[in-house]
Structure 1
Amino acid sequence: MKVLLINPPDFHMIKTNFPDELEGEEKAGYNPPLGLLYVASYALSHTDFEIEVLDTQVEELTYADIEKEIVRRNPDVVGIQTMTFTLIDVMMVARIVKKADPKTIIVLGGPHVNIYPEESIEQVEIDFLILGEGEVPFTELLNGLNRNDDLSLIKGLVFKKDGKLVNTGSRPLIDNLDELPHPARSLVPVEKYWSVLARSNPVTTIMTSRGCPYKCIFCDRPHLGKSFRFRSAKNVVDEMEECIQMGIAEFILYDDTFTVNRQRVLDICAEIVSRKLKIFWDVRARVNLIDLEMMEKMKSAGCDRIHFGVESGNNEILKVLKKGITLNQVETAFQAARKAGLTTLAYFMLGNPFETREQILETIGFSRKIRPDFVHISLTSPFPATELYKLGLERGIIKRDYWKEFAENPSADFLPPLWEENLNRDELFEMLRLAYKKFYFRPTYIFQQILKTGSWNEFKRKAKAGLKMFKI
């Protein structure tokens, strides 16, 4: 059996909450499709099938190119990574596959199908859905198809049988993540993955844990499973060493919250130092789960950047979002990060429930007060399967179930909802542009960035970014 796992293009990616002037056509980098590489690795270690991965994004393939690849590879089963934001491209790839050979079995997995299983399986091109973590059910599906088994006995599947929907039910999450084989990076061109923020390309992503124990109302993680599980320090650093042998020395740790388990963070740092690994890495962390000692240990082990979700510069809005942090904790974390010598990125959201223009201005001021190296500011968009989306429907802020309609009929002219309560869409984008100008158009900030520039290429990247800012 020949199996092809596809990371679809993002030509029609839905962009909801960022100024068009800042989007541009230039990429900020490419990350490997880590989920597909985990699925591929598990399938390779539990079957004798031929498994391939096609990352259409990093290969910069057109639809015509994708069709040629499908015909050339002639797979029996195609698995497609599926997110709501790339659903149009997912379906276009599925149609290309069925056009090449209608007998090819198409399997979708990913966040979107977990949120909208019925709408997804009703798409005529789709044969199976994988619910939950994909490694085990996808591999069992392959074996079941090969042996002509009763597929209804495999937990974590959705499919149609005799015109009726069959949902085999959920299966337990993988408890011991150390038992999973490391992602099959050999199946993709590792040298092509890069980041505009990286000190050393190529880069790769690593997931050292799964799940998130927090309940932010704008996030879909509570719907997809709050169970927090983590890998051992040895297992994580073993994977890093494998990557170094492939020519990779910079890592993006993609955990939702890397610092939940303090001792494990210290253990990972100690393991990196004891093995004398010369690497760079960045993490995402909560301001209330980190301290100066931890950040100093991280820095000594090669951590270069830390991303903090701040969201708002108003304590009342943070409570509305159920963020579980305070502004004092934010200020303390950013001060400690500067002392530890870490580059910081702060993420903010404007246009939250009950938020006024004055509170948005507080957030804009706070973004400057805490002095991050970079900010990413977006408009709050209620995404499917979040408490925020449910609240919007209940209060009439969102007039109808837009995301469900999109799942049923993916359309390129789809306009996702914003939280238009005290400000309308135009006013929200006006505030968003103001926020970027207030942060980046400061003589002191511009001078500091020039002083921190370490190479001609870095200077060119920053200059291009600056020119984009002048458009807003």
Structure 2
Amino acid sequence: MHRFLLINPWIYDFAAVNMWARPLGLFRVAEALSRFDVELYMIDCLDSYRLKRFNMGKYTKTPVPRPGVLKDFPRRYSRYGITTDEFTERLRMIPPVDAVFITSVMTYWYPGVFEVIRIVKEFLQDTPVILGGIYATLFRDHAVEHSGANLVVSGQIEGQLSNVLSSVGISLYPVKQYMPWYKLGFYRNLYYAPILTSRGCPFRCSYCASSVLQKGFYLRDPDDVVKEIIDLAAMGVQDFAFYDDALLYRAGDHILPILGELAKRNLHIRFHTPNGLHARFISEEIARLMKVNCFETIRLSLETSSPERQKETGGKVTNEQLEEAVTILKKVGFTKEQIGVYLMYGLPGQSFEEVREGVEYLMELGVRIYLAEFSPIPGTTAWSELISEGVIKEDIDPIITNNSVFSLLFSGYPHGEIQKLKDRVNNYNHQI
């Protein structure tokens, strides 16, 4: 019998909050492997946090030196998650494995990936290390050259698993049905769970890499989604976060049947949408079902209040559509505290005045405001625009694309003014 270890690495960043996140990509790899006669082990380096309201949490953090390229950046840099001692102790407890699968998420979190690979190589020596995930896909050349992994896989590993295993000298054949990740025994306690009801996105926003990472748009069977939620609720999960890129798209075929079926149950659970909903798709029927099903955290994506930039970046929402969505949500009983809107700053060509006007607009609308710093992503229109204008180079160190770093270095906004605006937004949010 073959054994495999799956690892979700640390976050290395200036700030990190756990908004019901778990390594969904790594779970898909585990589910694909479960069809074989194998033993699976997992180390989630981010499974260390202090639970707060709705089972959100702050990751445990350890200050670490800033990477050389950020040595003069004026903020404290930290490793988020379990300690290195905890990690090595867990490695020691696992029997010899045939391969190690390591995922990667934000491109600028790669120092955490590299540190995990270094330690794994030290302890497991000749065991092949397979690196996949978002960073490995978007910055493949960088990962191949610098990560230390034996194999770097771009795209969805689970769809090419046999070839991946063959590349490291392993041949396996399916002998059973796959097991869902939550039945594989990876976690002792499951207070929250992310839910993905679809893959990909039908929209092509200039700053988003969804269409780069996932070709096409696929909806899961609503019955399968409902079953997953019921199963997880029976295991003690209290909070569910939808991480779809387009949760409300084709609502009549998808989210409406899901919410309609869940409304018939008495599950005593809560739902959250941290990824941002398309305001244009919020109808009174959807809003009422969201209210019945105890949606506690609603995030809407606006990004900019400028009609011109809305069109330039993909045209997914207008101010009028946002206003209508907010009106509907408040009509069915959602409070200002529950409704939040994402507003981006630092987009290519976006002035500070445009950002300030967006803040004023949302304050008048009476919703919570969540400022989101722009981060350039390879393969997007915004990335190509920055390259062509000479703002960044194709071989930029991915760590510079960190949203906090990039906005400070390249937005052109006066640092003091943007901080004043952030403080004003924070004060406003606290008063809601």
Q: Matches of 1:394 and 1:298 in 2, distance apart?
A: 43
Q: Matches of 1:123 and 1:361 in 2, distance apart?
A: 40
Which of 389, 392, 395 does residue 383 from structure 2 map onto? 389
Q: Which residue of 2 aligns with 1:36?
A: 26
Which of 79, 89, 110 does residue 68 from structure 1 map onto? 89
Q: Which residue of 2 aligns with 1:110?
A: 133
Cα 1:320/1:63, change in 2 over 3 Å: same
Q: Matches of 1:353 and 1:124 in 2, distance apart?
A: 30
1:51 aligns with 2:47: no
- My pick for the range that moved more, 131-140 or 347-356, is 131-140
Q: Matches of 2:152 and 2:327 in 1, distance apart?
A: 46
Q: Matches of 1:411 and 1:64 in 2, distance apart?
A: 29
1:435 aligns with 2:425: no
Which of 342, 349, 358 does residue 347 from structure 1 map onto? 342
Equivalent pair of 2:263/2:292 in contact (CA under 8 Å): yes
Q: Which residue of 2 aligns with 1:166?
A: none
Q: Matches of 1:440 and 1:122 in 2, distance apart?
A: 41
Which of 412, 415, 421 does residue 424 from structure 1 map onto? 412
Equivalent pair of 1:3/1:78 in contact (CA under 8 Å): yes
1:400 aligns with 2:393: yes
- The residue correspondences of 1:273-422 to structure 2 (distance < 5 A) are 273-283=263-273, 284-342=276-334, 343-372=338-367, 374-396=368-390, 398-401=391-394, 404-406=395-397, 416-418=405-407
SS at match of 1:275: coil
- The residue correspondences of 1:180-191 to structure 2 (distance < 5 A) are 181-184=179-182, 186-189=184-187, 191=189
Cα 1:139/1:357, change in 2 over 3 Å: same
Equivalent pair of 1:351/1:420 in contact (CA under 8 Å): no
SS at match of 2:375: coil
Q: TM-score, normalised by structure 1?
A: 0.75
Equivalent pair of 1:392/1:419 in contact (CA under 8 Å): no
Q: Matches of 2:389 and 2:19 in 1, distance apart?
A: 39
Which of 192, 214, 235 does residue 225 from structure 1 map onto? 214
Cα 1:254/1:53, change in 2 over 3 Å: same
One-letter identity of the residue aligned with 1:5: L
Equivalent pair of 1:350/1:380 in contact (CA under 8 Å): yes
Q: Matches of 2:183 and 2:298 in 1, distance apart?
A: 25
One-letter identity of the residue aligned with 1:61: I
Shift of 1:414: 11
Q: Spell out, residue by residue over 1:6-46, the C-alpha distance to the aligned partner (whole angstroms, 9 max, x if none).
A: 00011x23x5xxxxxxx4x8x455522222122112211x2
Q: Matches of 2:327 and 2:194 in 1, distance apart?
A: 27
Shift of 1:437: 3.0
Q: Matches of 1:362 and 1:376 in 2, distance apart?
A: 14
1:265 aligns with 2:288: no
SS at match of 1:376: strand
Shift of 1:126: 1.2
Shift of 1:181: 4.8
Shift of 1:319: 1.9
Q: Which runs of 5+ in 2 are unaligned?
A: 49-80
One-letter identity of the residue aligned with 1:406: D
Cα 1:316/1:29, change in 2 over 3 Å: closer
Q: Matches of 1:66 and 1:274 in 2, distance apart?
A: 43
Which of 146, 157, 164 does residue 134 from structure 1 map onto? 157
Shift of 1:147: 4.8
Shift of 1:56: 1.1
Equivalent pair of 1:94/1:125 in contact (CA under 8 Å): yes
Q: Matches of 1:412 and 1:377 in 2, distance apart?
A: 17
Q: Matches of 1:364 and 1:415 in 2, distance apart?
A: 19
Shift of 1:413: 11
Equivalent pair of 1:320/1:353 in contact (CA under 8 Å): no
- The residue correspondences of 1:158-177 to structure 2 (distance < 5 A) are none
One-letter identity of the residue aligned with 1:370: L
Which of 227, 230, 238 does residue 238 from structure 1 map onto? 227
Equivalent pair of 1:4/1:77 in contact (CA under 8 Å): yes
Which of 247, 250, 255 does residue 239 from structure 2 map onto? 250
1:81 aligns with 2:74: no
Q: Spell out, residue by residue over 1:290-341, the C-alpha distance to the aligned partner (whole angstroms, 9 max, x if none).
A: 2122111221123232211111122112122224321111111111111122
Q: Matches of 1:289 and 1:68 in 2, distance apart?
A: 48
Q: Which runs of 5+ in 1 are unaligned?
A: 16-22, 150-178, 194-201, 449-472
Shift of 1:446: 4.3
Q: Matches of 2:312 and 2:141 in 1, distance apart?
A: 32
Q: Spell out, residue by residue over 1:76-97, the C-alpha distance to the aligned partner (whole angstroms, 9 max, x if none).
A: 2111111312211111111111
Equivalent pair of 2:182/2:232 in contact (CA under 8 Å): no
SS at match of 1:276: coil
Cα 1:313/1:204, change in 2 over 3 Å: same
Q: Spell out, residue by residue over 1:323-381, the C-alpha distance to the aligned partner (whole angstroms, 9 max, x if none).
A: 43211111111111111223212111123233233322211101202222x32203323
Q: Matches of 2:387 and 2:19 in 1, distance apart?
A: 36
One-letter identity of the residue aligned with 1:315: P
One-letter identity of the residue aligned with 1:8: P
SS at match of 2:91: helix
Aligned length: 387
Q: Matches of 2:240 and 2:188 in 1, distance apart?
A: 12
Q: Which residue of 2 aligns with 1:209?
A: 198
Equivalent pair of 2:210/2:245 in contact (CA under 8 Å): no
Cα 1:140/1:439, change in 2 over 3 Å: same
